[in-house]
Amino acid sequence: MATASAVLSKERAAKPLRSPRSARRRKLLLADIAGLSPTMVLYGAFILVPVVFALFLSFTSWDVVGKLQWVGFANWSRFFSDSGAHHALFVTLELAGLSWLVETPLAMALGLFIAGTQRYRQVYAAIYLVPLLLSTAGIALMWSGVLTPAFGGLAWFSTHLNLGFLDRNWLGSPSLALYVVVAIIAWQFVPFHALIYQAGRRAIPAEIYDAALVDGASLSQTFRYVTLPQLRYTIVTSSTLIVVGSLTYFDIIFILTQGGPGDTTRVLSLDMYDTGFLQTEFGYASVLAVVLAVIGIAVALALIRITGFGKMDSGREGIW
């Protein structure tokens, strides 16, 4: 289609010259608008504008019914002296850290296991994924049945097998509740992360293992010097998802403990929900929401920057 017209359209791009090239461009732009605007309108209205609006709301005082008032940094200074919110922030970070500690080794071990192509391992893998089909609400209710004191499934072991330590008020005990929540979240999400590790392990070329075998590497040496370094990007992916996911965890805690007993499992997202939707303090709740988002994005960015991971990935070019 001629270099001449290309030069021309470059020279006078601004003029309404109807060269075949600029007509083609207009057509492409119209097609782009037609193809993208449904997504962008929906996405803009429900995701992008709310991001800006959440930030705006954090400087206001509003209960939806009354008048919106600009209060400057009042909400923010309240946050910095609100010990309840600080505690919620601490519990949130504790939950994220514990989840990472529990889920990462389990998911890696299981992922390596189901990366094997043996038939029975594939059957195991298929069953491992079943928790991912259940809704979080369903999982919470299921576990509340298992953990019910006296009548529940675990309590049975204490009476019949003399395992007295299993009959406890699992979700009602301030010293246990958070750990029980971590365990249930692990039950739900370890299979998913195992799936990530399975894919990571399968992407490692078999030749490297052949070489290690020839060199007489032991099993633990192979893991230490081949598998682990080869999985580094998988570890970053999975860890980011675990940490960011736990930071915003809401459903299970809302259903199982409502933040209790006391405030031992009261995470930031629950604090935000209570402040916003029960006490209708949308301004202050927006502060908590913004804090939640900023921490989540910061953790994700930090993990990705530290490991230089972003450069490796073509799926997300341009944002990090």
The interface with another protein within residues 231-250 (CB under 8 A) comprises 233-234, 236-238, 240-241, 244-245, 247-248, 250
Within 261-280, the residues that bind another protein by CB under 8 A are 269, 272, 276-277
Q: Is beta strand 60-61 parallel, antiparallel or unpaired with respect to 69-70? A: antiparallel
Query: Smallest gap, in angstroms, from Cβ of residue 212 to another protein?
Result: 8
Helix (H, G, I), strand (E, B) or coil at 70: strand
Segment interacting with another protein, rule: CB under 8 A, options 69-77, 89-97, 162-170, 292-300: 292-300
Least Å distance, CB 144 to another protein, is 8
Structure tokens at 278: 């029960």
Nearer to another protein, 4 or 206 (CB): 206
Say whether residue 2 binds another protein (CB under 8 A). no
Q: How far is CA 65 from the centre of its chain?
A: 33
Rounded Cα gap, residues 250 and 267, in angstroms: 8
C-beta of residue 82 within 8 angstroms of C-beta of residue 317: no
Which of these segments, 86-94, 96-104, 172-180, 283-291, binds another protein (CB under 8 A)?
283-291
307 binds another protein, rule: CB under 8 A: no
Considering only 4, 206, 278, 306, the residue that binds another protein (CB under 8 A) is 206
Check if the beta carbon of residue 111 is closer than 8 Å to that of residue 194.
Answer: yes
Is residue 35 at the binding interface for another protein, with CB under 8 A as the rule?
A: yes
Tokens of 215: 């060199």
From the centroid of its chain, how far is CA 161? 39
Write down the least CB distance from residue 147 to another protein, Å.
9
61 three-state secondary structure: strand
Total binding residues for another protein by CB under 8 A? 119
Among 12, 15, 27, 311, binds another protein (CB under 8 A): 27
Extended beta strands in the chain, E state: 60-61, 69-70
